[in-house]
Amino acid sequence: MRFVDSTELRAGFAARLSTLYGTEVPAYTTLVDVSHEVNQRVMRRDPEAAQRLGTIARVTAERHGAIRVGSPAELAQVARIFGALGMYPTGFYDLRDARPRPIPVISTAFRPTDRAELARNPFRVFTSMLVPEDGRFFDTDLAQRLRTFVGGRRLFGDELLTLADHAEAEGGLKETDAERFLTLATAAFALSPEPVDRAWYSELERVSDVAADIGGVTSTHINHLTPRVLDIDDLYADMSSRGIAMIDRIQGPPRWEGPDVLLRQTSFRALSEPRRFREPDGSVRDGELRVRFGEVEARGVALTPAGRDLYDRLVAAVDERTAARPDDDRQDVAAEVWREGMPRTERELAERELAFFTYRVRENGPAGPPPATASAADLITGGWVEPEPIVYEDFLPRSAAGIFASNLSGAGHLDTDEGGTDRDLAWLSGAVDREIHVPEELYRAESEASLAAALAELGTTPRPSSPA
Ligand code: OOG
Ligand code: NI
């Protein structure tokens, strides 16, 4: 019988989730259609530039999902399911101090970590976990009841988890098991028809809508599924002209004529969806909730820690200037700040080591090998190699907070006199008993391996014009 490897499982899962979400949230289908139209327009303009950060095949299939869970035990189970799909926890995001609104979660993203796997299918899932221990949001009584509620539910059945472990150990599953695994895994993220306990949900909503969405129901669900576009400004205008209410801006770096860095995202507002409620008197009534929405994103080059510092400084400068000039458009102010502070070309980003690149040896470079001690910048300026951008595969905490906040209706409640609870990547890694990858380390390793390969190629390949 045919063996279905983890790459094919991942692509299959992403496709099934997309079909599911399209039936649950029809506006998502519109978003995907418009994204494809935008991508075709960009491809017609300049196919080479359009595919500089990934082939059109990759970009067309590319999605990220978002899910939310209630405890380390649940997150560890999620890690087993995604492990079967070749997706590993990467990055740590703490949204509890987020502006404009703190959210009682910490997050990571499950994604392929290997370049070839990303090229085959880059599916990733932003995964948030509730922190009931954080006294700023929950008092001890509510925290205890939340832990009991979450501890008593089962998001994923034994059959699904067993198949997941098997797939992760073997690198895939035989065809019939693969089919069963994909069916169960997709169903685990569907919106449940189970009635929502009104009193419990409302109690949590008073603290935070996100806490209610996570801990107020007995199952989890996909919160959004995000296609990638090559021109997010075009998409924003197109969706708005179709009468779909978008959030008021695009999150992340501004539109400008220089290189795209990191990630730009926008979304349409959460739509009300029919949900059933169990009332305090025991009756079941129809109602609605607004928690799920549509998001879209455009990706740029990954920044080195120095580049990220520069980015953060520019964002702070945009904040200051918009506060001082409240009548000016934030996008215009941001573009102005970018022109003053951000390199205008990819090449300058590479030479100043502000972004991550791989290196391609140039056909008609200088005669003779570079000095053994040459840095990447020396190889570029000396004409030996051409830098090629590494696409940013991760998320931005500030945009994530903005995406959460723009889709919440209640203000929530925060008790700033209470202390928070320390949570970091090491804690999360221990709690789920898995390594959590550090994005910048992955990009750096890829860049360094490419540099070493380029040097080896330059040192060993006799060049036609070389006098030797
Ligand atoms: C996650 C929000 C963050 C992103 O793309 O930054 C996110 C959520 O709403 O659960 O998906
Ligand atoms: Ni998202």
Average pLDDT, the chain: 92
Same domain, residue pair 351 and 407: no
Distance 425 CA to ligand 1 centre (A): 18
Q: What is the rounded average pLDDT of the residues 30-52?
A: 94
Cβ atoms of 304 and 287 within 8 Å: the answer is: no
Among 174, 155, 172, smallest CA distance to 164 is for 172
CB contact set of 164 (below 8 Å; sequence gap of 6+):
80, 81, 83, 84, 181, 185
With respect to residue 326, please indicate whether it lies within any of the assigned structural domains.
Answer: yes
With respect to residue 468, please indicate whether it lies within any of the assigned structural domains.
Answer: no
Same domain, residue pair 145 and 236: yes
With respect to residue 423, please indicate whether it lies within any of the assigned structural domains.
Answer: yes
Looking at the chain, the whole-number percentage of residues with pLDDT higher than 70 is: 97
Cβ atoms of 91 and 41 within 8 Å: the answer is: no
Looking at the chain, the whole-number percentage of residues with pLDDT higher than 90 is: 78
Q: Alpha carbon 272 to chain centroid distance? A: 24
Other CB atoms within 10 A of residue 454 CB: 22
Same domain, residue pair 291 and 310: no
Round to whole Å and give the CA distance between 268 and 232.
13
Same domain, residue pair 364 and 420: no
Which of 403, 407, 408, 409 best tests ligand 1's pocket when mutated (most atoms within 8 Å of CB)? 403
CB contact set of 31 (below 8 Å; sequence gap of 6+):
227, 239, 268, 294, 296
Same domain, residue pair 402 and 383: no
CA atoms within 13 A on the CB side of 308: 14
Q: What is the rounded average pLDDT of the residues 345-368?
A: 94
Ligand number, closest to the Cα atom of 394? 1
Same domain, residue pair 138 and 218: yes
- For residue 10, what pLDDT is reported? 98
Among 65, 323, 341, smallest CA distance to 185 is for 65
Among 267, 262, 364, smallest CA distance to 310 is for 262
Ligand number, closest to the Cα atom of 401? 1
Same domain, residue pair 66 and 144: yes
- For residue 360, what pLDDT is reported? 95
Q: Alpha carbon 353 to chain centroid distance? A: 24
With 0-12 CB in 10 A as exposed, 13-18 as middle and 19+ as buried, what is 327?
A: exposed
- Each residue's pLDDT tens digit, 390-399: 999 999 988 8
Distance 65 CA to ligand 2 centre (A): 6
Specify the pTM.
0.94
Distance 401 CA to ligand 2 centre (A): 10
With respect to residue 465, please indicate whether it lies within any of the assigned structural domains.
Answer: no
Same domain, residue pair 184 and 284: yes
With respect to residue 467, please indicate whether it lies within any of the assigned structural domains.
Answer: no
Same domain, residue pair 22 and 77: yes
Higher pLDDT, 212 or 419: 212
Round to whole Å and give the CA distance between 90 and 92.
7
CA-proximal residue: ligand 1, atom 7 (nearest): 400
Distance 179 CA to ligand 2 centre (A): 27
Distance 403 CA to ligand 1 centre (A): 6
CB contact set of 372 (below 8 Å; sequence gap of 6+):
455, 459
CB contact set of 292 (below 8 Å; sequence gap of 6+):
24, 25, 191, 221, 222, 223, 224, 270, 271, 273
With respect to residue 443, please indicate whether it lies within any of the assigned structural domains.
Answer: no
The alpha-carbon radius of gyration of the chain (Å, integer) is: 24
Q: Alpha carbon 270 to chain centroid distance? A: 18
Cβ atoms of 183 and 12 within 8 Å: the answer is: no
- For residue 98, what pLDDT is reported? 85
Same domain, residue pair 383 and 410: no
Task: Give the CATH number of the domain where residue 63 resides.
Answer: 3.10.180.80
Range of the domain at 334: 306-388+449-458
Distance 93 CA to ligand 1 centre (A): 11
- For residue 404, what pLDDT is reported? 79
Round to whole Å and give the CA distance between 116 and 196.
43
Question: Which of 234-243, 273-282, 385-394 is modeled with the greatest confidence?
Answer: 385-394
Q: What is the rounded average pLDDT of the residues 309-338?
A: 94
Round to whole Å and give the CA distance between 308 and 94.
17
Which of 64, 224, 232, 394 best tests ligand 1's pocket when mutated (most atoms within 8 Å of CB)? 224
Same domain, residue pair 149 and 205: yes
Round to whole Å and give the CA distance between 48 and 351.
22
Same domain, residue pair 27 and 169: yes
- Each residue's pLDDT tens digit, 200-240: 999 999 999 999 999 999 999 999 999 999 999 999 999 88
Given a cut of 80, is residue 417 above it in pLDDT?
no
Higher pLDDT, 228 or 405: 228
Other CB atoms within 10 A of residue 183 CB: 12
Q: What is the rounded average pLDDT of the residues 347-373?
A: 92
The residue behind tokens 């970009």 is 59
Distance 28 CA to ligand 1 centre (A): 15
For residue 343, say if its preceding peptide bond is cis, omega within 30 degrees of 0: no
Round to whole Å and give the CA distance between 376 and 357.
9
Q: Between β-strands 263-278 and 196-197, what pairing exists: parallel, antiparallel or unpaired?
A: parallel
Number of structural domains found in the chain: 2
Helix 175-188 vs helix 6-24: angle between axes, to the nearest 10 degrees? 40
pLDDT class for 460, splitting at 50, 70, 90? low
Q: Show the tokens assigned to 305.
A: 């820690």
- For residue 373, what pLDDT is reported? 81
Among 260, 258, 242, smallest CA distance to 250 is for 260
With respect to residue 18, please indicate whether it lies within any of the assigned structural domains.
Answer: yes
Among 304, 261, 257, smallest CA distance to 391 is for 261
Pocket of ligand 1 (CB under 6 A): 66, 68, 126, 128, 223, 265, 295, 395, 399-400, 403-404
Other CB atoms within 10 A of residue 230 CB: 25
With respect to residue 258, please indicate whether it lies within any of the assigned structural domains.
Answer: yes
Ligand number, closest to the Cα atom of 93? 1
Which of 25, 62, 295 best tests ligand 1's pocket when mutated (most atoms within 8 Å of CB)? 295
- For residue 203, what pLDDT is reported? 96
Q: What is the rounded average pLDDT of the residues 256-261?
A: 96
Given a cut of 50, is residue 140 above it in pLDDT?
yes
Round to whole Å and give the CA distance between 384 and 455.
9
Ligand number, closest to the Cα atom of 400? 1
- Each residue's pLDDT tens digit, 70-102: 999 999 999 999 999 999 999 999 999 887 788
